[in-house]
Structure 1
């Protein structure tokens, strides 16, 4: 994790009304989500409020209107940065409580039921190995909390060739032009959680300069083309290297899904 810093961190938690008959919550009712960090080495169960205060530190306070239940986004950047700076092997443990939820509103958190279901599946597999499947995939709780952490490097990676970027490149030479895709501008921000946008980039420019050719073959063919001995052959400035990106979005039934998409970002351009 050397050279890596925490850019931001958000905790996503889902709240919903329990299926209780004849219950209509007051529309002006306000709930408060409290997020605490359990101090390293402390236990998970406390006998009283004094003991709880001694072994925890408040991370965030998040107010919610009953009319706006569902997925809640809570900024926990400072807590994650503090944990990361400690450079220990201890896990980051967060405690979540709700003021005003009572027994009418469900907070979807990790619970023992999921672990018990996983253990039952493992026992069943031992009895019938022919029906083996991954227990982690079989017991997926899409309503569980998610901690999204965006990382940034402290050192800017130097480009091998400055001409790859259109900034500072000779006029009309094939180069990579930065291009930012804003999901809000596309009106996709209602289903895409992260990122809010990304640099897709594109290639532009001419392929007449030999230093942009990817191999001797292209240079020889281009010499023939220049002399008019070969017609219909034109090299184009095009992507030569891509990189993937991760997308976090709402799937069917408001499930939060993370998917890695290949070839989403143009990293380098050339004349293949």
Structure 2
């Protein structure tokens, strides 16, 4: 039973990979020469999971440390905005870039000062937008000064050098004193500098002044800290990036990972049977379910949402004549005619492949317990056609 389960996992990963490439699924006669055909179920499972991690752009899964903190509500809301219940992208234009991370403050100071560890951000990633999210609390007490002020000036500085008390203004705006809730400040320029040179990251300093420029009574305006207030209100840096891993680069990496020459035969009959079920091959080209269950493959410890998703796969014949219901390309129609009339030797029938692909979103914890929202292109076969 364990071998059958691992064979099914192998089959799922290979079909998932080919669905993401938009190419036809391999037949039972072919196998990846780099994929070891082994009777050892543990070796097969390890290799299959390694390939699936490659599809998601990872070398290793994040190391889980038991119970996680509650994910920031902002990240949960953002995920629900861009993805449906299965993680499929609702609208590709909703998200700026393809990666969003949230970072929590690493220091506690008497001043309103913050430091965020950005070591998980690769230097090759393009920083698009960075925001400081602060939760403004209610006033501690009613004082005469409270009625004299309705707005305050909040300034956010990049700390350039702790020893020289050198600061660079990043953002400045008026904030209502009598309201409570999240306030968001742009800090993009500082984060770009920090990701280029991590040694330049000395943190942020926030000051609060009256409109006249004098210090404000701390009882009038307070921001939540991670130490003294509920973790759902703690300061947070939200970073939008693009890692450049779009469809073209994904296709190249997967073609290299699953390069299947037409001459290589499968020697293991049980694995060959797991790769393909010919039961429906005589049916016309159509889309079939292909569910990827993250709990079943052992990833539920670090993936927050979704629990899994339906990648779908394409299977079936493309017989002559090709009807419009098979969504054929002009090239496929010509190829089908040439094959049917036997005008040229060695011309096969068109292949049943995805002709529309959707991206899928993962919300997960990384190695440093940061919550990451990442969008992966071409992971779901939206429809199938003869190409």
- Using CA pairs under 8 Å that are at least 6 residues apart, name the structure with larger relative contact order, 1 or 2: 2
TM-score strictly above 0.5: no
* TM-score, structure 1 normalization: 0.43
Larger % of strand: which?
1
